[in-house]
Structure 1
């Protein structure tokens, strides 16, 4: 590997594009190739896609063509949330000898719900001598690694509660729609069952906390419910009438010896709530840490991914979770 980390971008959507821009600003990293299936992006200069000067990197339709004239150390993968939908992409990247840092929420702790796929990816990565890692802001930081970092000052921890309240009215259109805002209760329920309305990765975050604290989980329960409007609300993207959903209230609970020792609570709503992130640990000493205004999801996800690259490259081959890597550190300027 050269002194500069050579990055292949696999997926140039909103988050993938933000990541590419951040990598371009980092003096210790170099973008060398990009892959995206969108016909409107194929052949385009990566920099010019973002209104920047030309970078001399052109978007390829597939991995083979992307690597014809480029050598990469690691692929940043940003195409999907669910492992069954992206496992073929991940395996192709591993077969090409690339380390991977992915925003796929399932990949943050795939042993929980996809144990067979986890074993398959782990075995393939080890055979190729590369590391594969799933991360982001959540899962990947706010509701798991941040919690575990705070627990480091506790002699013991008896209960974990995490709250994340997000003002979705300020977020990009796809995320506003993902909250279920503007749907009737019946439409909301139907879309939660398909996975169109919910935040992926919450059960994985519970499992990561439990594993980090040495708790053996009995089970994880998850619920997603609409927050019903009592008055009209509108954003630049959508309108909500009384009786319709303002957004979602999602909870995940981890049970240990029959008791709910881990509680994760998420609200994403468009009626402009005061956003915050809060971690409450019942322990010795007790801890109550609140991030006023909350953590911006897209910007933080971009940062966590890029700040994790060096650690992924330094890790042992195989499937690595946040428990296997050091805390990602920011870049001082």
Structure 2
């Protein structure tokens, strides 16, 4: 019997997740929650540019909670813990790319209670955070001993992220430097990335005295920069860097960072991706050291990224492929440390 899955929200990640569910031999799409009244009642196939699937989207949360399903892939732009708790209490496992990767006790307590009430599991996953920031540094540390430092870092052209409202109004690209530096963006990002840092600290066994420090930097346009969110005017934010360091004494032992640029031209300071270009980097200092560069999760061109960003697709697939493992797990909040190896599945034309 296939596991019955509901998709919650149909933005970029949600649409890609639906495609992944349809291709996964162990999953069946049975429901879809949408935020927009314009999508309410429409066939989900129509929403993703396919033939009708016989599953209709709905804005009715109560109807979704009442559905017979094994799991929900929860992928709104802004998470709501009350919604997640309600889904869990309704007896549905939750896999999500928007939080709860490694929550602290206060944040976890009500959701743990909801998991116990529903007899189900909550798992936070994704790409960054949810992979690059914690899973990959921990995974590659297995080839070293006496680890002194791990790092997960992203270098991406933000013009390829097809979510204009998020990029301009939440991430503050196109704002003044002062507006960006005083926006809630660092706090919002820290909600996930600090969990990633703490997971690395705890699993690797670093001192509990480690202090987590944050850094935010911006670069502004020196001339108008054309972008999918409209022109970035001179003097307005066109690149941002966020960094989270865990420090013991005067030594950085864990570093997670993101570098998001509106291209590499006309920036002050004159930031670039360097000769390596867009990428994700994983680094482990120990005996021996390890350095890994990951490519393929960034598109070749801005136009290609706006049409279908592989990083968005990878985020969705990490959620989709986690569903069978999460459904088989013990009730409660489950992290990468608790689950077995998560793997994808063969193309339908090549599978059993």
What is the TM-score with the length of structure 1 in the denominator? Answer: 0.89
Distance 1:47 1:193, change over 3 A: closer
Is the contact between residue 180 and residue 246 of structure 1 (CA under 8 Å) also seen in structure 2? no
Q: How many residues align?
A: 322
Partner secondary structure for residue 224 of structure 1: strand
CA displacement, residues 242-288 of structure 1 (integer Å, 9 cap, x when unaligned): 43221211000112356321111211111244211111211000111
In structure 2, runs of 5+ residues without a counterpart are 265-272, 299-309, 348-352
In structure 1, runs of 5+ residues without a counterpart are none
Partner secondary structure for residue 173 of structure 2: coil
What does 1:5-16 correspond to in 2, within 5 Å? 5-16=3-14
**Cα offset, 1:228, TM superposition:** 2.6
**Cα offset, 1:201, TM superposition:** 1.6
Give the CA RMSD over aligned residues.
2.2
**Cα offset, 1:330, TM superposition:** 2.0
Partner secondary structure for residue 53 of structure 1: coil
Question: Partner of 1:243 in structure 2?
Answer: 235
Question: Partner of 1:266 in structure 2?
Answer: 258
What is the TM-score with the length of structure 2 in the denominator? Answer: 0.84
* Distance in 1 of aligned mates of 2:78 and 2:250: 30
CA displacement, residues 31-74 of structure 1 (integer Å, 9 cap, x when unaligned): 01112232111111111112211111111223332355x42111
Question: Partner of 2:62 in structure 1?
Answer: 64
* Distance in 2 of aligned mates of 1:199 and 1:269: 19
CA displacement, residues 86-112 of structure 1 (integer Å, 9 cap, x when unaligned): 11111111121111111222x11221x
Distance 1:254 1:172, change over 3 A: same
**Cα offset, 1:154, TM superposition:** 0.7
CA displacement, residues 295-324 of structure 1 (integer Å, 9 cap, x when unaligned): 543111111101111110111111111211
Question: Partner of 1:100 in structure 2?
Answer: 94
**Cα offset, 1:199, TM superposition:** 7.2
* Distance in 2 of aligned mates of 1:226 and 1:33: 41
Deviates most, 234-243 or 53-62: 234-243
Is the contact between residue 125 and residue 318 of structure 1 (CA under 8 Å) also seen in structure 2? yes
**Cα offset, 1:226, TM superposition:** 1.0
